[in-house]
Amino acid sequence: MQITDTHLHADTEGTLLGLNTYQSLRLVTAEALSSHVPDLVLATGDLVHDGSPAAYRLIKSHLKELGVPVYCLAGNHDEAQSLRKTLPGGLVRYSDHAFSGNWQFIFLDSTIPGSEAGHLREEQLELLEAHLSKAPDQHTLVCMHHQPVPVGSEWLDTMAVDNPGDFFTIIDRHPQVRGILWGHVHQEYERQRNNVRLMASPSTCIQFKPLSSRFAVDECPPGYRWLRLHPDGRIETGIRRIQEIPVGVEVSSCGY
């Protein structure tokens, strides 16, 4: 399963636009576990909102309760150095790749320090090329925080990966790539590019209204994405949400 944009604070009472992000995360993970126990969890950035070591310890403590490997990567609200120091190994970890069955997972850092925008530095592109070249027979899911393609929300697409051509040049050389998965956009998105699934997912807290030219909060409940990765490279996937949007969300907000 994928969870993303959890935006936790060091304080379990911390809120984002009126929503308690810790309680919302707990509701989403409880919903997920009520239907199935995942083999692993992909946490695709903006894990915390305040960048504090205490917030990373809090999310680590909660995610450990799932009892399965959780792979975390940084988003633009994260403090990457604190994330790496707090999650060096164990069940909840920061890593650049992993294997499960005949699938490979590659985790790219698309963040720019001090910016909300996305960029894949040369070292990240080299890492992508290296992992794909070493495992040509492993079906691969590439994960990052920022979107590598426009999602149709004008304000969000100003904060997409700014060098997608460099990224897709590598992807197109490696037919074992079956999917690309990201967070950041706080909404469901799915398209196909050649034979590669392109997927974004709801946040575990507030949602952004799709196809909006300006910042707008959607009234859809928080959720997560489930993925069933088959031995032949097929991907089955869908979105599940909690039953209703938590009370107190500031749906008329113009930003945060």
Give me the residue spans of the domains in the chain.
Answer: 2-241
Question: Can you give the pLDDT at residue 248?
Answer: 81
Question: Can you give the pLDDT at residue 168?
Answer: 98
C-alpha–C-alpha distance, residues 171 and 149, integer Å = 13
Q: For the ranges 171-180, 222-231, 240-249, which has the lowest average pLDDT?
A: 240-249
Question: Can you give the pLDDT at residue 85?
Answer: 85
| Banded model confidence at residue 138, pLDDT cuts 50, 70, 90 | very high
Tell me if 229 sits within 8 A of 103, measured CB to CB: yes
Answer whether residue 33 shows pLDDT above 90.
Answer: yes
Residue (of 243, 241, 219, 227) closest to 190 by Cα position:
227
| Banded model confidence at residue 253, pLDDT cuts 50, 70, 90 | confident
Question: Can you give the pLDDT at residue 116?
Answer: 94
Answer whether residue 175 shows pLDDT above 80.
Answer: yes
Question: Can you give the pLDDT at residue 252?
Answer: 81
pTM of the model as a whole = 0.96
Helix (H) or strand (E) holding 22: helix 21-35
Pick the CATH number of 2-241 from 3.40.50.2300, 3.60.21.10, 3.40.640.10, 3.20.20.70: 3.60.21.10
Q: What is the pLDDT of residues 43-74, one digit of tens each?
A: 999 999 988 899 999 999 999 999 999 999 99
Answer whether residue 35 shows pLDDT above 90.
Answer: no
